[in-house]
Every structure is written in structure tokens, then in C-alpha cells.
Amino acid sequence: MTSTPARVLTIAGSDSGGGAGIQADLKTMLALGVHGMSVIAAVTAQNSLGVQGYWELPEEAVRAQLDSVLGDIGVQAVKTGMLASPVLVETVARTLAGVAAPVVVDPVGVSKHGDALLAPEAVETVKELLLPVATVVTPNLWEVEQLTSVKVEDEDDLPRAAEAVLALGPRWALIKGGHLSGAPVDLLTDGDRSYRFTAERLDNRHTHGTGCTLASAIASRLALGDDMPEAVRQAKEYVTGAIARGFPLGAGIGPVDHGWRWRTA
């Protein structure tokens, strides 16, 4: 009898260019051997040059998708990405407060091209309602500053940033240091235990979807039974390979290669 794979739900925005958002999440989940499901919170018009526009789905549409998946299929991990507005953040946060599975929050504020994907008035809702239900939150340095006002300028600032993020309620914080000068360093901590993850800095501009991919990979590994440090280690290994093989697409920034393990097998 065929067994059912682990189930992971992404709650995020659609990327019409296929490099980030829901599309990147589902590709990552397939690549890591889990069954991906989706709740679409917003639709973007997006390509390699940027985000030309986005439209939130009605709150009742997001709630119906959540009820549909959670009420019948269930989940073993959840990943959130672009949630766009205060009402959608609140809807998702209140639902996830009743879910026992681990929740990976990617606090998406802007796109790779610098386009806003979260209404300014929604930042407080993320802080007050979403981060307290997160098992782990995965901000980049810009998102750390947006959420906590802590500016990270070098690796020594990472613990202070993590402490500020943890004060908002998540069980773990993964501070992504990819925008630091020198070798990229990420810091994972729950306040008691800390783990640093380093990787080679790759000379490839085609990195669209990196944050979505990492968060989805962590959720996938948690669903497969890893503890948090091992889930992050495995996710980092997958994402590093995907960045190394990121490819040109259109006239701008291309995506990471979610299928790199298949192509190099």
C-alpha cells in the first residue's frame, strides 16, 4: 500500500514569474519529498524585473482555504510568506494559534527587487499576532530592522538582533546574514542554544526566491521529523545548491534552481 508523504502547507502570495512565493514553496516541498498544499493570500504580477502590482484576496477566501485544508487533510508543518494586509495577517495568525504543527514564519516585507509586499500598517499586526505563534521566524537583516529597529552591521550584531526578535514571541529566531560583508553567516537561537551556519558566498546574481525557498525547506524538514537545528542545516544545504545553480530568466534577476538535485543526479 502506498504511504502518504508528510504534508506541508504554505500560506503566501502567488509569483506569476514562478521564482518565489507559492510557486517556489511548492517546488521546494516537492524537491524535499513532502506533499505541498497552498493557501493563496495575494496574487502578484511579477517577473524578473520586479513586482508590477499585487492584489489581496478577500479575507473570506483566505479563511475558506485554511478551513478546507486544515479541516480535511491536516498538516505536519506550516510556512507563511507574503500576507499583505493587517486583516489577512490577523486571520492567519488566529487560525494558526489552534494548529499543533510547527509554524515557520518568513516575515516578507519587500521583494528581491525592493518592491513592498506588506502594507506598513500590517507590521504591528505581524509583531503582535503572528510572531507569537511562530515556531521559528526567518527574517533577513532588513526585516529585522523593520520588526525591531535593530540595525545589524556586522556578525557581532546578530545575537542582539536575535534577542530582539525572540522578545516578540517566536520559539526560535533564524537571523539571515546573507547581506553582511564577508562570508554569509546565519544565527539560529532559542535564547538558550545558539547555532551558526556559514556557507560560501556564491558569485551568482540569480537569487530570486531565496527566502521563500529556505523557509519552505525548513518547514519540509520539520515535517519529516528533524529537530530545529537539523532542519535548518538541511535546508541551508539545499538552498546553497539552489543558489549555486540559479539561472537567468527574462531581463532581470533569475530564480534559484529548485530542481538542482534532480538535474545533477
Catalytic residues: 176, 207, 209-212
Closest CA to 39 of 14, 3, 19, 17: 14
Residue 54 corresponds to which cell in the numbers above?
Answer: 499585487
CA distance 85 to 188: 28
Distances from the Cα of 233 to the Cα of 81, 107, 181, 208, 219, angstroms: 20, 20, 22, 21, 12
Helix (H) or strand (E) run with residue 71 in it:
helix 59-72
Decide: 195 and 235 in contact? Cβ < 8 Å: no
CA distance 143 to 152: 11
Of how many residues is the chain composed? Answer: 265
CA distance 252 to 254: 6
CA distance 248 to 261: 18
Residue 19 corresponds to which cell in the numbers above?
Answer: 521564482
Other beta carbons within 10 angstroms of residue 77's beta carbon come to 26
Decide: 38 and 7 in contact? Cβ < 8 Å: no
Decide: 83 and 11 in contact? Cβ < 8 Å: yes
